[in-house]
Amino acid sequence: MAYLIGVVLFALAIFISVALHEAGHMATAKAFGMKVTRYFVGFGPTLFSFRRGETEYGLKAIPAGAFVKIVGMTPQDDDVAPEDEPKAMWRYPVWKRTIVMSAGSIMHFILGFVVLWVTLFLVGVPNPELSDQAKVNALPPTVSIESCVQLDADRANCLPTDPQSPARQAGLQNGDKITAVNDTQVSTYIGLVNTIRAAKPGPATLTYVHDGVTKTANITLISAPRHPADNPSGAPTQVAALGVSQALPKNVPLNVTYGPVESVGQSFRFTGQLFQGIGESLKSIPSKVPNLWNALSGKPRDPNGPISVVGASRLGGESVEHGAWTLFLSFLISLNFFIGVFNLLPLLPLDGGHIAVAWFERVRSWLYAKIGRRDPGRVDYLKLMPVTYAVILVFGGFTLLTVAADIVNPVTLFGK
């Protein structure tokens, strides 16, 4: 039940963010004096509508988005009444059109920033001291003892048939600090991991400190699949395993919150990191397509690959099911920032494409004036339709591929 609630909540949050996207276009267009005739949430049959001034507002039956109708978005629009010509969008200065077309993405950025601030102030985020891999790797090799070493690398739940971990067999206890494996000294947890994995499964000698007393233990390292230490999402390989995990300092909280003012500064910092990550994600999308296609045949899904709204909603459901509200909000924040950035790409029919055309017209007019030639006027959008259709075909195909992968072979957070 909690899973279903999470899915519905996340889908509703996406629906609201899309409605706010279109509201941003409408509000800025009205502020500049452009005529807005319709603002509807949803598609399909109209459930109800009402009119305020020159705009009809309404709700449609299919909650799959929203739309706004601004009169005369392009010079080729043939539904502009003569009395509305002065309010046609294409007649306004390019800077005003740029603000109107970018207002949708700006609404996503504002919403993402506000949710991020709420998360930092009220919900909490993973402690940066523990999120910084370099700092975590530098911590001493103090360990927690696992009950078993499962051959499927799922160490969260031990089964009666799973072999007992070598560390438990040797009598090590939680909080022990391992100082050497065979003759190799270790001073950090990552050093311990690397030393054990460099050894071969079989007999080994451990030196460790228990309650301030140095002890030794003869153990037998077992072979088990583990993800690369420097790439937790990488494919697991068979390595020597001891059956320990890192014991974090007791005085270091796993999650932290910030004050209302400090959260603003932290929000800007996290926003910068997210935008950097989005840039890298956009560049890597073409290389991720083969994995999506392979996932349809049951091959392992790349956990860092692209997902659709369907996949994002499923992850939102998993997060709520396990009480991981920070993850739920993180997905929502990331999705809003990603949609905002993606929508500004200079490709029609995206808003960024309309902005690119508007500035192309402005620059071209300026250049023609400089060389004494007649202004060629506005771009004919009808001539750009083949390119627009090609973009729609590519993005539509990619969307269908991600949706299919999220249904057939979804990314999961908690091994469902």
pLDDT tens-digit map of 98-156: 999 999 999 999 999 999 999 999 998 887 766 666 666 667 777 777 877 664 444 45
- Say if residues 135 and 142 touch (Cβ distance below 8 Å): no
Predicted local confidence at residue 239, as pLDDT: 86
List, by residue number, the catalytic residues: 22
Inter-helix orientation angle 309-321/325-342, to 10°: 160
Predicted local confidence at residue 247, as pLDDT: 75
Predicted local confidence at residue 152, as pLDDT: 43
Q: Which two tokens stand for residue 57?
A: 């507002």
Predicted local confidence at residue 416, as pLDDT: 45
CATH 2.30.42.10 fits domain 138-246 = yes
Q: For 125, list phi and psi in degrees, rounded to 5.
A: -130, 160
Q: Which two tokens stand for residue 248?
A: 């974090």
Domain boundary assignment for the chain? 97-127+259-416, 138-246
Residue 296: burial class (beta carbons within 10 Å; 0-12, 13-18, 19+): middle
Predicted local confidence at residue 375, as pLDDT: 85
For the chain, what is the largest distance between any 2 Cα atoms, rounded to a whole number of angstroms?
92
Q: For 233, list phi and psi in degrees, rounded to 5.
A: -95, 0
64, containing H or E segment: strand 55-70
Split the chain (416 residues) into runs of 10 and give each run's mean pLDDT.
90 94 97 96 94 95 92 84 90 96 97 96 82 64 75 55 80 88 87 87 89 89 79 74 78 82 94 90 86 84 84 90 89 94 94 95 92 88 91 92 90 67
Cα–Cα distance list, 305 to 20, 311, 319 (Å): 27, 11, 18
What average pLDDT is seen over the chain? 87
Q: For 160, list phi and psi in degrees, rounded to 5.
A: -60, -25
